[in-house]
Structure 1
């Protein structure tokens, strides 16, 4: 895929735009002659070039590229194998950087050579301390677990799902307060060594993220014949369920990213579990009010953040594919398309090296990987890689 600044992004296929945006972070894929030796450029916007949220989207997007090229290619696997290898290499690099202390001299406390994720993974914040300093976010960690799970399904290698479960087991108790009680609660941000709660308030989506992602990990382990590994998550899943029950009806935010990620999370179970279908319905109502009543997309983009709206588009598109309500599915897809349409001229210009400064430097990586995911949710979507492993009710 060429990254020529003269390319007209609007004339490209959706897949072409997806790939071009990914290349702006991870380099020209055509120039990678030996994927096994590829080192991801240090351009993910974080400490030592790695940022957990951005690179989680990067891994999932590489899996999508693999699948899209597999589907469209009639000439074999030269491209498709490349993208899976790039996903593997990105995973290894993230584990090597964010699974170590900031100076790179030691693994995080709790991690070993046998269990490299036993200490969690750092966020990758540029600052070591302060209000926006480094640490560990539960919602970043669960997205990374999901990326490992999807890589496991895409490659048929259960080792990646085992890594995700090892990470899940390691970080879970550190984010809980009064875990053994009937009314446990969670904290939003932990220190890099998981010893101190840096933000003791409870994240809005964290218990739902955990409840859904841990069940997906469990299902994959059981499908791979690893019963003891999968059932080993029963306690953690029960913890998340108790937090959800304590909180009662989930608060539905008006923030575009929160709305989108809530829809994405619920789409895994909204066709068969009432809590998910009810929450999805309330999200849809909030989206309707945001777009139809508040006329959100009429606001000047100077006062909006592209990556947050790309999260909306991602969640909306994933949910529209699964919604049994066909009329609602059409409405949802139209909102996802409208978000992309409102940002396409901006992305066309900002992806050109000469105009890259239009997006603040710290927001470029997250904006570009999430733009790709909004264009083609791909591996974010349930069933995209084939029938999903059966979850325990």
Structure 2
């Protein structure tokens, strides 16, 4: 299945780059294959797992998963603490590698308690991000769906339960819950208390995705996530989803596509879907009004634009799903109008991928500073089915 998709979609662009070549270079550069020690970063690796699945390379996806758990599931080499983050013994950690959460994989250690916050430096410090954990839950679930690997689905659910327990809180007894944006490596306390704008939405849809995956004969599949879903539904209800950030817009579109796939029956009747699609449409209009692609390539961040390219390819999929339920879609004219606007922008995805496949664009300091995440997300934009399509 995945191999035939790769042959159909992974055609060379005008610049001659392919997802297969990008992912092979990434695998060599970061130690997935070859003799180099593994260098793992959770966000990039989540997309990479999905790309390997799309390319019919489930063996590399599995190897990468094992490395992520062995590296990011345990404390840093420069940390006084050792072993699995959750404090498990070796056997328990191997069986439940996500139970303590997973480090981001940033180059610098987390901030000490007595260190004054330097917000520029905080971006380079380790810890745990919920939105990275949610991407990894998705990657594990995609791997489990496509390979039948039962443990991967359980690991995703156990990670969801752990992350939810650590990142959600009530500011005062009885008050609506909120989420922290960044936690310490051991999840003992927050490093950044502000809430990520789309973290609750990502959580809600990802938890739903994990619950919806119920293969026959599954045993010991992990927590059901009922209470976690209720919490997230309440948090999302009070969240403003509108953003003009291209990566955020792409994330909204990918979430809308996942939501429509999970609804299966009459997706046009779901009010959350309308809110997500509407926010993405308005945000995209704001973003394009700034004429971002007129800026010199040296000043742009490839992975943010590529996140939008991935999301725009979710729009075509979303259109097909919603057209099956034309009556309920027509009953929501705002959703129909937003979708009509978004579908006209789908060709922009190819414009973005062609721009970043250009060797001149990759021969810039901006590209090289984020080479792994740029290359992997470019590959996702070239073969998006591993990331966007639920098996």
| Partner residue in 2 for 1:190 | 183
| Partner residue in 2 for 1:161 | 153
Runs of 5+ in structure 1 lacking a partner?
A: 1-7, 43-47, 67-82, 386-393
| Partner residue in 2 for 1:118 | 99
Q: Which aligned pairs between 1:238-317 and structure 2 lie closer than 5 A? A: 238-247=230-239, 250-270=240-260, 271-272=267-268, 273-291=270-288, 293-317=289-313
Asked if 1:65 is matched to 2:55, the reply is: yes
CA offsets, 1:267-316, max 9 Å, x none?
A: 2224442212222122123213432x332222222221111000000011
CA distance in 1, matches of 2:36, 2:343: 39
| Partner residue in 2 for 1:77 | none
Q: 1:277 to 1:39 in 2, by over 3 A?
A: farther
Q: Secondary structure at the match of 1:129?
A: coil
| Partner residue in 2 for 1:107 | 84
1:359 shift after superposition: 4.1
Asked if 1:321 is matched to 2:295, the reply is: no
Q: Secondary structure at the match of 1:267?
A: helix
CA offsets, 1:155-190, max 9 Å, x none?
A: 022221111111111221100112984510110000
Q: Secondary structure at the match of 2:191?
A: strand
Q: Which aligned pairs between 1:135-154 and structure 2 lie closer than 5 A? A: 135-154=127-146
Contact preservation (8 Å) 1:269, 1:277: no
Asked if 1:370 is matched to 2:371, the reply is: no
Contact preservation (8 Å) 2:254, 2:311: yes
Asked if 1:10 is matched to 2:6, the reply is: no
1:139 shift after superposition: 0.3
Q: Secondary structure at the match of 1:198?
A: strand
Q: Scaled by the length of structure 1, what TM-score is found?
A: 0.78
CA distance in 1, matches of 2:84, 2:18: 37
Contact preservation (8 Å) 1:126, 1:134: yes
Contact preservation (8 Å) 1:138, 1:206: yes
1:39 shift after superposition: 6.1
Runs of 5+ in structure 2 lacking a partner?
A: 1-11, 112-121, 261-266, 323-335
RMSD of aligned alpha carbons: 2.6
CA distance in 1, matches of 2:18, 2:208: 33
Q: Secondary structure at the match of 2:140?
A: helix
Match of 2:199 among 190, 206, 216: 206
| Partner residue in 2 for 1:22 | 23
Q: 1:330 to 1:201 in 2, by over 3 A?
A: closer
Q: What count of residue pairs does the alignment treat as equivalent?
A: 336
